[in-house]
Amino acid sequence: MVQARIGLAKSGLAKSGLASQKVRAALWFLAPMVLALALAAGWPLGRTLYYAFTDATLSDMADHGFVGFDNFWNPEWGGLFGDAKWWRAVGNTLVFTGASVGLETVFGILIALVLNRPFRGRGLVRAAVLIPWAIPTIVSAKMWGWMLHDQFGVINDMLLGLGLIEAPIAWMANSATALGAVIAVDVWKTTPFMALLVLAALQTLPGDIYEAARIDGVSRLRVFFRITLPLIRPALMVAVIFRGLDALRAFDLMYVMAANNADTMTVSVFARQQLVDFQDVGYGSAAAALLFVLVAVMTAVVLTLGRVRMGAAR
C-alpha cells in the first residue's frame, strides 16, 4: 500500500485522473471474484448458520421450525453439549490435530535440514519427498488401508519379519490403534509440505553466522537450537498454524480409512453423518457451525497477531 502511494506520488502524470480511473477499474476487477466468493462461500455459510437453529431434515429442508439453541443444548435430549458422541469427535479432532501437526513439524524440520545440505542427487531426493504430497488423500487412505490390512497387509508382514510383533495386528479395527494409524498416514502425507516451508526459510538464512559458529567450535546441536530454530521460528509458526487449522477440519482421510467409526470420527465426519446419513440438517448444521466458530476465532486471533508482523514486513 505504501509502495503504491509512493509510486503514484513520484511520477509526474496527471495523477488524480489516472488514480481515480484505476480505483474505478479495480472495483470492476474485484466484482466478479467477490461475487463468486459470496455465492460459493458467504451465502452457503450463512444458510448453514441459520439451519443450526432449526429442526430441518434433508428430505424437505424448506419445511422446518425454529428451535433456538436446542441443537446445542436442551434439557430433554441434551443437544450437542450433552452428546457423548460429539465430545468423542471433538476429542479425536484435537488429538489428531495436536499429534499430526506436532510430528509433522519435527519430521519436517529434520527433512529440511537434510535437504538444505548440498549433496549429489539432492534435486531427486527433493522431488521424491514431494510424492506423498501429490497423491490424492483418498488414494493415500486406500493405499495405506491396504498396507495396514490385518491379514494381507505389508506392514504386518514387515513387523512380523523383523520380529517386532508376534501376531498380525488389525490396525483399523482395533480402537487402540485406529486413530494412531490415521495420524501416521496424515503425517506421511503432509510432512512434505512442512519440510518445503522450513527448507524455504532455511535457505534465506545468512551463511556467515554459521561460519562464525563453526570457527568458535560451537556444537551442531547447539547451533541448531540457538541459531537456526529462533531464526526460522516465524516461518515455522505460520506453517504450524496453517496446518493446524487444516487438520481441525480433516475429513477425507478418516472417512475413507474408517468410514463413520467412532474411534476415528472427527467433527467434520460427525457433522456430515448427521447431515447426510441421518438426514438431520439442523443438528448437523449446528455441529458444522461450532467447528466454523472454533476455526474462525483461531483465524481471527492469528490474523490480528500476524498483522503487526505483516505490516512491518511490507
Partner 1 sequence: MSGRPGILFFLGVGLIVLFAGFPFYYAVVSSFKSGSDLFEVTYLPMFDLANYRAVFTEQPFGRNILNSVVVALAVVVLSLLLGLLAAYALARVSFRGRGLLLATILSVSMFPQVAVLTGMFEMIRAFGLYNSLPGLIVANMVLTLPFTVWVLTTFMADLPRELEEAAFVDGATPFQVVRLVFLPLMGPAMAATGLLAFIVAWNEFLFALTFTLTNDMRTVPVAIALITGATQYELPWGNIMAASVIVTAPLILLVLVFQRRIVAGLTAGAVKG
Contacts of partner 1 in 232-261 (CB under 8 A): 235, 238-239, 242, 245, 248-249, 251-252, 255-256
Q: Which residues contact 291 (CB under 8 A, 6 or more apart)?
A: 248, 249, 267, 268, 271
Place of cell 444458510: 47
Return the residue of 5, 85, 222, 233 that touches partner 1, per CB under 8 A.
Answer: 5
Give the three-state DSSP class for 162: coil
Residue 23 CB neighbour total at 10 angstroms: 9
Is 29 or 69 the residue whose CB approaches partner 1 more closely?
A: 29
Q: Which of residues 252-311 bind partner 1 (CB under 8 A)?
A: 252, 255-256, 267-268, 271-272, 275-276, 281, 284-285, 288-289, 291-292, 295-296, 299-300, 303
- Count of positions on this chain that bind partner 1 (CB under 8 A): 107
CA–CA dist 172, 264 (Å, integer): 9
Binding positions for partner 1, 25-44, rule CB under 8 A: 25-27, 29-30, 32-34, 36-37, 39-41, 43-44
Number of C-beta neighbours around residue 272 at 10 A: 19
Minimum Å distance from CB 267 to partner 1? 8
Residue with cell 429442526: 55
Q: How far is the CB of 216 from partner 1 (least distance, A)?
A: 12
User: Within 10 Å of residue 312's Cβ, how many Cβ atoms?
Assistant: 7
Binding residue for partner 1 (CB under 8 A) from 76, 109, 136, 206? 136
By CB under 8 A, the residues from 46 to 85 that bind partner 1 are 46-48, 51, 58, 61
Beta carbons of 203 and 186 less than 8 angstroms apart? no
What is the number of other CB atoms lying within 10 angstroms of the CB of residue 298? 14
State which of positions 161-220 bind partner 1 (CB under 8 A): 188, 192-193, 196-197, 200-201, 207, 210, 214, 220
- How near is the Cβ of 61 to partner 1 at its closest, in Å? 6
When asked if residue 108 is in the footprint of partner 1 (CB under 8 A), the reply is no
Quick check: 182 and 264 in contact, CB under 8 A?
Answer: yes
